[in-house]
Structure 1
């Protein structure tokens, strides 16, 4: 018999509010600034390599992204990147950090409906200060029973969170737009994993859908969450 579902975890970026599109806009600005030094595709490839390499140093988020852009600019120009370009990259990052939050459709309603019969937990990764800022600006903070801002989302991370804030992973569900972090890892921990595609996904977060997993579900958007919870519970 399936254990009763008691705890619902929600991802934040690109699940509850827009995020990746600001990274992509800044990447476009980055490639335009360096167009005299390298082709677009080469710049994007080098930037992605830098981001992957730097996650262990800087973690996830805008600050690490800006440092990776600067590092890439220095590398592709062989240390000749103008100071004005560095300044514009820093300013682009500052603009990202100051950008107002725009909620995705159904986000607030989905949390409110889930909270009627479950504990709800926000589980997000990234820079602590920036994630706290976005949550505060979103107006959603008071809807959650707990908030966890983590450095990485692994199966062990989910086990620990749902043991601390619920009845363990078997009685928990995680909802998000990242197949790797929000779906595959929770299912490996024993949770339900619900994929809500956003359309824009950072390449690092790509993974194959666990279509054979009994606890895998996919929704077109958060508007379908209430019906899914009714069917499962």
Structure 2
């Protein structure tokens, strides 16, 4: 008899919208600094700062806000006004207060799956922010555990899977780099659910692997699981 599936989900842009708020904040950032630098150059400088600062601040809104402030200071050679810095801080707080907006199919699919399978959330980012999102989503009771990690690597997935005694597991998410490829390396199935907006840091090529699957939305996940048996 086949082992019962454990299904692990990424959170941001898999269960609820997230990247759209970062894009909006980047547009505001560009508007604030339009007298100093072109938007495309500012975008590149901000992305470089984010990549550098992940090792110090981790993933999430707080690190993003600090990277915007650092970039503003650098591109203006310290001439950025206190007013602009205050607006960047206010923007970060606004992002942290933004209500949860579930993605297509999530509200119907998660309860349906929870009736038959063990569900986990494995997400990275700010601890308090991710806990807030899970609580406000209304989905928390459907998950047996929520794992908030500093990064997603094969080793991290292996430890989580071992801790939850998962004999047959799939990881579902919108990031090939963080959700799919390292989960496959850890022995799981990797299910890719593309999102229309993907942070450049999270982009990667689709793997050529027997345990890789791609679906349009979470609406398609129950049929995929039934197909896999």
- TM-score band w.r.t. shorter chain: over 0.9
Q: Please, which runs of 5 or more residues in structure 1 have no aligned partner?
A: none
Aligned counterparts, 1:21-32, within 5 A: 21-32=20-31
Does 2:191 correspond to 1:194? yes
Separation in 1 of the partners of 2:58 and 2:130? 13
Query: How many residues are treated as equivalent by the alignment?
Result: 229
User: Alignment partner for residue 176 of structure 2, among 176, 179, 182?
Assistant: 179
Does 2:216 correspond to 1:220? yes
Deviations 1:73-102 (A, max 9, x none): 000000111000001111111110110001
Contact 1:9/1:121 (<8 A) preserved: yes
- How many Å apart are 1:109 and its aligned residue? 2.3
Separation in 2 of the partners of 1:120 and 1:106? 16
Aligned to 1:231: 227
Aligned to 1:206: 203
Aligned counterparts, 1:34-53, within 5 A: 34-53=33-52
- How many Å apart are 1:5 and its aligned residue? 4.9
Separation in 2 of the partners of 1:92 and 1:216? 38
Separation in 2 of the partners of 1:91 and 1:206? 29
- How many Å apart are 1:3 and its aligned residue? 6.4
SS of 1:122's partner is strand
Aligned counterparts, 1:48-59, within 5 A: 48-59=47-58
TM-score by length of 1: 0.96
Separation in 1 of the partners of 2:145 and 2:130? 14
Separation in 2 of the partners of 1:224 and 1:153? 24
Structure 1 residues 2-11 or 48-57, which shifts more?
Answer: 2-11
Separation in 2 of the partners of 1:103 and 1:208? 26
Aligned to 1:70: 69
Q: Please, which runs of 5 or more residues in structure 2 have no aligned partner?
A: none
Aligned to 2:165: 166
